[in-house]
Structure formats: C-alpha cells, structure tokens
Amino acid sequence: MRVTTSLLCAAVGLVLQQATAFLPPASFPSSKPASATVLRMAAEAVEVPMDLIKKLRGMSGAPIMDCKKALAEEKLDVEAAFDWLRKKGQATIAKRDRATKEGLVALAVDGTRGVAVEVNSETDFVARNADFQGFVAGAAKTALGLRQGAKPGVSDVEHAALIAATGPTGESLEKELANLVAKIREGMTLRRASQLVVDQGVVACYVHNAAGPLMGQAGALVGIETDATGEKLAQVEAMAKRLAMHVVAANPLYLDSASVPAEVVEREKEVARQTALDAGKKPEVVEKMTEGRLRKYFEEVCLVQQNHMLEEGNPQISDLFTKTAAELGVTLKLANFLKYRTGEE
C-alpha cells in the first residue's frame, strides 16, 4: 500500500510539472529581481556580427571576447562599445597598486628652446611598445608647442595645460593616454614635463639608452648663450651636445656654486668642520680643511666646476668655455641644463 501511495504522488507531481510548463512566466511572479549573472548571460546571448567585432578590435586592440561582450552590452553600438572598453580598462588599472616606475624620457628641441617629458609605465615591456613610444614622442612635440611661460631658464611645463593640449591624433593627450591604457591594459602616467630656454644661442640634447628617436631611459638638455652665427654656431651646438652627454654620465645637481641652496652649503660645511675637529685639528687647520672639502663638493655636484668626461684631457668645464670662446672669437656662457631619468625621485 505504501508503494502504491508513493507512485501515485510521483505521478501527480509529474503531471503538475508538465502542466505548468505551458503557463506564461507572468503566472509565477518573483519577489527577487534578476541577478547580475542572469543579465550578463542575457547580454552574452545577443548575436554579435563578426564584422562589428573585427571593427571594434581594430579600434581598441582589445581581445575578441571582450569586444563581443562590449557590443552585446551596448546593443551593437560600436562607439558606445569602444567607450565601454575604455571605462573597463580604466577601472582595471585603477585597482592596480604597482608603481609606474618604468617608461621613457623624450626630448624635443626647436632653436633656443627644448623640452623634456617623462611618461611612466608599470613594466619595461610596455616601454618597447610602438604605440607607447608614439604617445611619448607626441607628448614631447606637444609640450614643445606650448610656449606659455617660456622664459629664459629652466621651468616646469604646466601639467594641466599639457594633458589638455591637442596631441598628434587630434585628441587631447589625456584622452590619448586613456585610450592607450585601455588598449595595452597597463598603468601609465604622463608624469612631468620641463623646458629649457635661452635668449640667444642654442639648446642641444642627448638621450641615453635610446629606444627610439630622442627617447630613452635618460636624457639631458644643455643651453648655451652665444653671439655666434653660421659655422661657429654649429660648433657651439656640437659643444652643447657633448656637454649634454657629460650631464647624463656625470649627473650634476647644480649649474654652479651660486645655485647650491644655502642650507645645503651649511650642511656640507658642518660635516667638513666636524670631521676636522674629530681628527684633533687646530682651529686654523679646521677652517682650511672645511674650505677644501667644500670646494671638492662643488667640483662634484656643480656642472661648470666638473671635469668634462668627454673632452681630451678632461678640462674643467668653465676653463673649456673660456678657451673655446677665445678660439672662436665669440661670447659663450653656459646658461643652464636639464636632466631627466626614468623613475627618479
């Protein structure tokens, strides 16, 4: 009897299941909204034409499945799907906590003005990417075109103005960078830009470990004020370029001793003085030793007092300028220098 009852219940359940299969969905109201998973599955179920996927992939460089999903989410609107990918790319990057310490330095020069920009990435692999290099070169050219505040000396290029400026593609550098982040899927920042301007003369540059034209891991600009013209000006420009190579190699901190902040000078004096006192030197000897140590410090960190690493005999740079000016019969003055190294503080 128990077996018969069980079979009867099972039969009734099967009949009810088959009957309800023909009823419309509204007959079974749900107290819960559709889950995000269900919505995502519905979006993925949209038939996406392959030609649209190829078009979006060509625009974005994103993987095929991501392009398909973006088109499904945006109801086959390619432009909206492209923006969807960009937003997803930016959202992904925003979650990363790795520092962008790799990247490239790029330089651009036009007569008496030169600029340096640094664009960072998370890995050196991206620094070798052609699209990334194209953006870096374009950022340098764009910075060179911004002339507001271009007074003689070294100064920063205003970051807000630079990223808002129109780049080589016709879009702002900020938008170009956002597109690049979405395409390559790695964090990138246009970290900084500076300029070097001289009144009359030349600005020359050098890039170390070049990854492309005027871009690499480190670079320097050197400005020389001169009244030279023609062939003599070309010789001065060659001199400035060799000096830029020296700057990258020797890494000076200041132009001359007058450029060293007073607190730095005082600290170096105190270190030298205390060293002499600890050695038991007499007061008059302490002063001489302090002066000597300070002079040595200036020779190490001040460009005009360094010995030129590339010139024959390694003359002091100030002496080289005096000699060259006399040989060419022109005025020469080392106006300033600017050096960038990827990832430096």
What's the rounded mean pLDDT across residues 85-97? 51
Q: Please give the mean pLDDT across all residues of the chain.
A: 83
What's the rounded mean pLDDT across residues 45-60? 84
Percent of the chain with pLDDT over 90: 55
Q: What are the residues whose beta carbons fall under 8 Å from the beta carbon of 238, sequence distance 6 or more?
A: 204
The Cα–Cα gap between 341 and 251 comes to 10
Q: What is the pLDDT of residue 67?
A: 87
Taking only the tens place, the pLDDT of each residue in 167-182 is 988 999 999 999 998 8
Name the pLDDT band for 256 (thresholds 50, 70, 90).
very high
Taking only the tens place, the pLDDT of each residue in 288-337 is 899 998 999 999 999 999 999 999 999 999 999 999 999 999 999 999 99
DSSP for residue 312 = T
Written as one letter, the residue type at 60 is S
Q: What is the pLDDT of residue 149?
A: 64
- With 90 as the cut, is the pLDDT of residue 338 above it? yes
Where do the domains of the chain lie, and which CATH numbers do they carry?
41-95 (1.10.8.10), 102-259+302-341 (3.30.479.20), 262-299 (1.10.286)
Taking phi first (over 0 means left), then psi (-120 to 50 degrees means alpha), and beta for anything else, what does residue 304 get? Answer: alpha
Distances (CA, A) of 163 to 102, 178, 224, 270, 297: 20, 11, 29, 44, 39
Q: Which two tokens stand for residue 74?
A: 């945006």
What's the rounded mean pLDDT across residues 245-258? 96
Q: What is the pLDDT of residue 87?
A: 65
Name the pLDDT band for 286 (thresholds 50, 70, 90).
confident
pTM value surpassing 0.85: no
> Who wins on pLDDT, 285 or 119?
119
Q: What is the pLDDT of residue 174?
A: 93
Distances (CA, A) of 265 to 58, 132, 262, 302: 58, 42, 5, 12
> Who wins on pLDDT, 228 or 21?
228
Q: What is the pLDDT of residue 173?
A: 94
Q: What is the pLDDT of residue 97?
A: 38
> Who wins on pLDDT, 60 or 254?
254
Q: Which two tokens stand for residue 318?
A: 């100030």
What's the rounded mean pLDDT across residues 205-212? 92
Q: What is the pLDDT of residue 273?
A: 86
Within 74-172, residue ranges assigned H as helices are: 78-94, 124-127, 130-145, 159-164
Q: What is the pLDDT of residue 270?
A: 87
Q: What is the pLDDT of residue 254?
A: 96
Name the pLDDT band for 65 (thresholds 50, 70, 90).
confident
Name the pLDDT band for 100 (thresholds 50, 70, 90).
low
- With 80 as the cut, is the pLDDT of residue 42 above it? no
Among 46-50, 72-76, 100-104, whose mean pLDDT is lowest?
Answer: 100-104
